[in-house]
């Protein structure tokens, strides 16, 4: 059994990952902020851990994740609160989580990032440009750490039912990907610790998730 600490546990990917971890016999510690989120997380099989990424310091977050085997960072402002919130959650929040993981001696760290071509081909707003810049800087920060990291860059996230089949590569054409399959890929990465220190782009595809990740072992 693996214990995964999910930052962004109440988000759409975090909830799906917790459910899939539970189904596979693993333990998910899901960080959540709003009190009403705890019951739903429990129903999914997660252990709810209350905490606000905007209020926790390094020591407090490290204490919450202590004893875990892997940290999964799938938190994001989601465009709410403007650039300031994006900077705080997607940027400084990631840096805080990396520092806390090192302090807690949790070496494995998975980051859900953003596909480089997201939003290209159409006019985008200044807040979105800031979002992409912050996401890239978060990637840089994690990649420069001494942790056992994997950065996952999914394409456009959709709520369609997952197929369990994806297209994964170092650099692939842009496309959509169901959140179910992003969660399934995170689960597979948790179960495949040999996949390490690599950036993986992900879209919907024809290859079973486990097989798609074998090329990175």
Residue 90, token pair as written in the block:
């997607």
Marked catalytic residue, from 131, 181, 186, 202: 131
For this structure, is 131 an active site residue? yes
CA 212/CA 216 separation, integer angstroms: 8
CA 13/CA 17 separation, integer angstroms: 6
CA 195/CA 185 separation, integer angstroms: 12
Report, as residue numbers or ranges, the catalytic residues: 131
């Amino acid at each position: 059994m693996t214990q995964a600490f999910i930052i962004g546990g109440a988000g759409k990917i975090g909830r799906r990952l917790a459910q899939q971890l539970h189904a596979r016999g693993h333990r998910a510690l899901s960080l959540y902020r709003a009190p009403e989120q705890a019951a739903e997380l429990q129903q999914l099989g997660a252990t709810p851990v209350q905490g606000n990424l905007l209020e926790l310091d390094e020591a407090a977050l490290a204490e919450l994740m202590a004893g875990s085997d892997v940290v999964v960072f799938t938190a994001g402002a989601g465009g709410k609160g403007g650039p300031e919130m994006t900077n705080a959650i997607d940027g400084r929040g990631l840096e805080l989580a990396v520092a806390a993981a090192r302090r807690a001696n949790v070496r494995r760290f998975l980051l859900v990032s953003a596909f480089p071509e997201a939003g290209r081909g159409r006019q985008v707003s200044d807040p979105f440009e800031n979002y992409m810049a912050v996401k890239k800087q978060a990637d840089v920060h994690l990649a420069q750490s001494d942790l056992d990291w994997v950065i996952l860059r999914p394409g456009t996230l959709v709520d369609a039912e997952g197929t369990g089949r994806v297209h994964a590569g170092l650099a692939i054409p842009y496309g959509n990907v169901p959140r179910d399959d992003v969660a399934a890929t995170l689960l597979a990465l948790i179960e495949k610790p040999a996949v390490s220190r690599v950036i993986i782009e992900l879209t919907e595809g024809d290859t079973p998730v486990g097989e798609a990740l074998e090329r990175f072992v």
